[in-house]
Structure 1
Amino acid sequence: MSTTESGRRTFRSRLNEMIDQLRDGIATGKYKHGTYLPPEKTLAAQFRLSNKTVRKGLELLMSEGLIEKIPRVGSMVTAAPLLSEAEPAVTIVMGCYSTNEKTLILSPLLDDFHKLHPSIRVEVVALHSSSQFMETLRPCLDNALLDVFTVRDWHFSEIADGGFADLLLPRSGSEQYYPFLAGSFTRGGVLYAEPLSFSPVVLAYNRKHFREAGLMEPDAGWTWDIAAANATKLTVPGQRFGLHFQVHMDDRWPIFLLQSGRHLPSGRPQDGEQRKVVNWMSGIRISKDIIGNQALFPHPLYGSDNDIGTLFMQERTSMIMTGYESLNRFAATGIEYDISSVPYISDPRTLMTVTGIAVNKQSKHRTEADCLAVYLASPRAQRLLRERTLCIPALKPAAEAPVAAVDTLNRPSRFQLYRDIIPSFRKLGELQLPPGGLRPLHEAMKDYWTDSIDETALRVRLETILSAPADCPVHS
């Protein structure tokens, strides 16, 4: 070992020693909540470090939510000490989408949170991503049955458009979020939920299948016609299908509509509904041709999101349309796969969903709930999300930080693809549907896909859905 390398390790050990001692001092109550750590000069002398190095160590403790830098005063302890027998724990209830419990590695994150805040217990209850989300959520908020909860951007729109955003505690946010996330949970200039992660839809594919079929791998120039032609070549009767996606998920099927021509701005002319339906029809026809073609697409009985991931892991499908969050199903497998942008029709567009964390303003433990929300959006938690999952953290520095030299997760080689396709990101709101219009729109498309109605009847239904007054929710 060289003298220089030995010196570096000694330097790192002294820095780690300082950080560990301060962290333990906070945990044991040596440095109590609201008091200050020793001055930087004192720490520098004690651990034989430069002032600059000491500040780096303190910045790490700040990112962990343990201290706060008070200008011209010092480093104030903000974390609570270990729970004493005389100090009872406070239990808060966190509502969480069932998928987030896995994709956001919720258990490890909550274990880490408890180490920092041992006096706060977190009970997790399931939230169901249904079309009646607000109907289920509202009683939980009004009666303080939930203190904090995860929320997707389209469900937040349902909350805000219904006039219920004031039930949530405003957030301070961060300048380190990706800029395109800023409006996901904002209304009237107020942020009501902290973005935690985002998930654009991409095309995941089995590289071995492409080699065996002698095909070039997907790229950004693929249209759906090219994808369907290659899916047919990848299909092996009785063994595997070329293409699969969840036709019932609200961040899958609308992609075909968003890609179908240029969309009309708000305040469209009277005939706007008819023009939009004409635009949509190309995408609707293509989706029907793919879904109904059992020479390349599995039987609709294999229609759940779990089925799609399972068939892909079993190598019974070659390509699937999926979100980044769902890639976590493959993280512990040995499947040889990669990702590409989704095929397109006339516009290269894909759907992006954003998951955030919101605090119930009516919570009886609002301070503790806020503490959890701050932690989940902190650089510390976001880095854990980056290192231990295939999710994309909302904080750009965390999302783009390098992972460990020995990464145990099966990441696609093109994991950073999302950075190149940001201009293609779209949200469900760009369909410009009236309130409650998404569900009847999907029902109409299902009737068309199954030949229960023809194109003429479908157009009539779509125009009826689109022409509903803004203050009159559409029902299926």
Structure 2
Amino acid sequence: MHRPNRVEFNARTQQLIAYLRGEIKAGTLRVGEYLPSEVELGKRFGLSKESVRRALDVLVEDGLIVKIRRVGNRVTKSEIDRNGDEDGTVASHFPNSDEYTELRLAHYPSVSDEGRLQQAIASFEQSNPDIRVKLIPTSFPLEFAEHGIADVVTLSAWDALKLKEMDASETLLTGMPDQPFAHPRLTAPFQSREGKLVASPFVYSPVVLCYNRDHFEECQIEEPHEAWTWYTLLKHAKLLHKQLQVRGFVAHIQSVNRWPVFLLQNGFRFKAEAPQQAAEDPALWESLRISRDLVYQQGAPILWTESDSDVERWFREGRASMILTTFYGMNSLMNTDLNYGVAPLPSLRTQDTLLLVTGLAIHERSPRQQAARRLVQHLCGLNVQTDIRQNTLTLPVHPEALQMSTGLAGNRPYGEGAVSQQWDRARIYSDLNMSAAVLLAIREELKAYWSRVEDEAEASERLEMLLGL
């Protein structure tokens, strides 16, 4: 295979620079828009990531683009502006058009499928021909709001918690009208300290237990039910492994969407006035002990996962009998022939679960507030919510859509209706009285404990030092 030499690499780099300058000059890439990703440009021009970045540095020096960390490379001036504008002003980050209003919606990539986003936008544009919506998939939609790039963003309950720490009065996002049909637990993560609703709930899921029904039948084990404790689960996980040579139970324990469940169930609450006492709280250590036992005491080889998707893949392939997951995650099972069910979480002191809600928020300084509100209203409306219910396992926030039991597509879990609306058990992150920063710091310190590198005494001492800072 021919390996390009330095001369060819330099020629390709110059081609890339010339191409992007031409696109900006022609207006194909407008002020405020983003260049294709560095990976995409590298593939198109046969360049390494480093070579692409050097080419982009030239455009930065020319004042044509600006690099925004974890977001991308944004056009700041056109070639005409650079050469001819007397005032040198830079256009707004938000796009503008005389023919229609363009909205930018920055969203988590998973919402495309979990929330049927493309289909919802298509129906919105059909009924609102004066508005176009540009979808921006990103793992950091909130940062697009911070930089004034997106009019509307998806906001998770976790990001809402972090936002309260960064911006106590949450001035970044505009206030949203109340959704009288949404359950109060769904709006709770998005309430500011002043009572302002910063996002409209869109979809949700509790953390649940998903299980392979064929595995349970083969081992003659009664399917999970409300009387189960985590110790019941551990006992049956050992039996499933022994008889079927599969993992009885798998969870991405270290996820911020998973391990707090054990704290919530055991009544642990962080006391800001005495933070160091948390390191010696029996409720904390009993919670952490059972989460570690679930990893090590199944009689099977240890399985460490990088993400929740690893867990769902093992279950989908029939290599795990039970998993800790969500309705979001179970969407990957809809096109399988798997015979599976869903049940409430086993309990410790309580049967609480963690409620994961995704909302829709509007940037406070977006010049298209009215159009943005029309979009959010459409996405939270009955038609879109019904489409989500019928074609995904994601739970819609609209109660009429949620209660639908006919016209549902795909392979759906046994028992889904029994766990989707257990509001009395639904808890959110703020119920722990702990900030996102503290939760993340504790998780980092606990990795050695979960890995059995430290015992409880050593881990407690480290937590005490951490929380005393």
Tell me if both proteins adopt one fold, taking TM over 0.5 as the criterion. Answer: yes
**Structure 1 equivalent of residue 28 of structure 2:** none
**Structure 1 equivalent of residue 184 of structure 2:** 179
- Code of the aligned partner of 2:372: A
Q: Which runs of 5+ in 2 are unaligned?
A: 1-96
Tell me, yes or no, if the aligned pair for 2:108 and 2:154 is still in contact at 8 Å. yes
Alpha-carbon separation, structure 2, partners of 1:142 and 1:213: 53
1:327 corresponds to 2:330: yes
Tell me, yes or no, if the aligned pair for 2:219 and 2:243 is still in contact at 8 Å. no
User: What is the CA distance between 1:94 and its match in structure 2?
Assistant: 1.1
**Structure 2 equivalent of residue 455 of structure 1:** 456
User: What is the CA distance between 1:374 and its match in structure 2?
Assistant: 1.4
Alpha-carbon separation, structure 1, partners of 2:180 and 2:188: 13
User: What is the CA distance between 1:341 and its match in structure 2?
Assistant: 0.9
1:193 corresponds to 2:199: yes
Q: Which runs of 5+ in 1 are unaligned?
A: 1-85, 469-476
The 1:396/1:298 distance shift into structure 2, 3 A limit, reads farther
Give the secondary structure class of the aligned counterpart of 1:242: strand
Q: State the TM-score, normalized to the length of structure 1.
A: 0.73
Tell me, yes or no, if the aligned pair for 2:172 and 2:364 is still in contact at 8 Å. yes
Give the secondary structure class of the aligned counterpart of 2:263: helix
**Structure 2 equivalent of residue 152 of structure 1:** 156
Tell me, yes or no, if the aligned pair for 1:264 and 1:272 is still in contact at 8 Å. no
- Code of the aligned partner of 1:190: K
The 1:440/1:291 distance shift into structure 2, 3 A limit, reads same
1:243 corresponds to 2:249: yes
Which of 342, 345, 349 is the equivalent residue of 1:346? 349
The 1:97/1:420 distance shift into structure 2, 3 A limit, reads closer
**Structure 2 equivalent of residue 55 of structure 1:** none
Alpha-carbon separation, structure 2, partners of 1:414 and 1:342: 13
Which piece of structure 1 moves more, 359-368 or 313-322? Answer: 359-368
Which of 68, 76, 94 is the equivalent residue of 2:105? 94
Alpha-carbon separation, structure 1, partners of 2:101 and 2:301: 51
User: What is the CA distance between 1:236 and its match in structure 2?
Assistant: 5.1
Which piece of structure 1 moves more, 419-428 or 342-351? Answer: 419-428
User: What is the CA distance between 1:434 and its match in structure 2?
Assistant: 4.2
**Structure 2 equivalent of residue 68 of structure 1:** none
User: What is the CA distance between 1:108 and its match in structure 2?
Assistant: 1.4
Tell me, yes or no, if the aligned pair for 2:190 and 2:199 is still in contact at 8 Å. yes
Alpha-carbon separation, structure 2, partners of 1:201 and 1:290: 16
**Structure 2 equivalent of residue 370 of structure 1:** 373
Alpha-carbon separation, structure 1, partners of 2:237 and 2:118: 38
Which of 386, 389, 404 is the equivalent residue of 1:386? 389
Which of 122, 134, 144 is the equivalent residue of 1:123? 134
Give the secondary structure class of the aligned counterpart of 1:363: coil
Alpha-carbon separation, structure 2, partners of 1:429 and 1:466: 18
Cα distance per residue 1:197-221 (max 9 Å; x no partner): 1110110000000010011101111
**Structure 2 equivalent of residue 166 of structure 1:** 171
**Structure 2 equivalent of residue 313 of structure 1:** 316
- Code of the aligned partner of 2:378: Y
Alpha-carbon separation, structure 1, partners of 2:221 and 2:416: 21
**Structure 1 equivalent of residue 265 of structure 2:** 259
Alpha-carbon separation, structure 2, partners of 1:297 and 1:113: 50
User: What is the CA distance between 1:339 and its match in structure 2?
Assistant: 0.7
Give the secondary structure class of the aligned counterpart of 1:98: coil
Cα distance per residue 1:158-209 (max 9 Å; x no partner): 2123226112121112211113223221121221110011110110000000
The 1:316/1:108 distance shift into structure 2, 3 A limit, reads same
Q: State the TM-score, normalized to the length of structure 2.
A: 0.74
The 1:166/1:231 distance shift into structure 2, 3 A limit, reads same
Alpha-carbon separation, structure 2, partners of 1:112 and 1:465: 51
User: What is the CA distance between 1:87 and its match in structure 2?
Assistant: 6.5
Alpha-carbon separation, structure 2, partners of 1:285 and 1:376: 42
User: What is the CA distance between 1:266 and its match in structure 2?
Assistant: 5.5
Tell me, yes or no, if the aligned pair for 1:141 and 1:362 is still in contact at 8 Å. no
Cα distance per residue 1:271-301 (max 9 Å; x no partner): 74355x321101111111221346347521x
Percent sequence identity over aligned pairs: 27
**Structure 2 equivalent of residue 217 of structure 1:** 223
User: What is the CA distance between 1:391 and its match in structure 2?
Assistant: 1.3
Alpha-carbon separation, structure 1, partners of 2:367 and 2:466: 41
Cα distance per residue 1:20-78 (max 9 Å; x no partner): xxxxxxxxxxxxxxxxxxxxxxxxxxxxxxxxxxxxxxxxxxxxxxxxxxxxxxxxxxx
Which piece of structure 1 moves more, 247-256 or 315-324? Answer: 247-256
**Structure 1 equivalent of residue 285 of structure 2:** 281
Alpha-carbon separation, structure 1, partners of 2:184 and 2:436: 27
User: What is the CA distance between 1:382 and its match in structure 2?
Assistant: 1.3
The 1:221/1:268 distance shift into structure 2, 3 A limit, reads farther
Tell me, yes or no, if the aligned pair for 1:231 and 1:296 is still in contact at 8 Å. no
The 1:220/1:467 distance shift into structure 2, 3 A limit, reads farther
- Code of the aligned partner of 1:183: A
Alpha-carbon separation, structure 2, partners of 1:205 and 1:154: 26
Which piece of structure 1 moves more, 449-458 or 209-218? Answer: 449-458
Which of 291, 298, 301 is the equivalent residue of 2:295? 291
Alpha-carbon separation, structure 2, partners of 1:399 and 1:325: 15
Calculate the aligned-residue CA RMSD, in Å: 2.4
Alpha-carbon separation, structure 2, partners of 1:197 and 1:137: 17
- Code of the aligned partner of 2:438: G
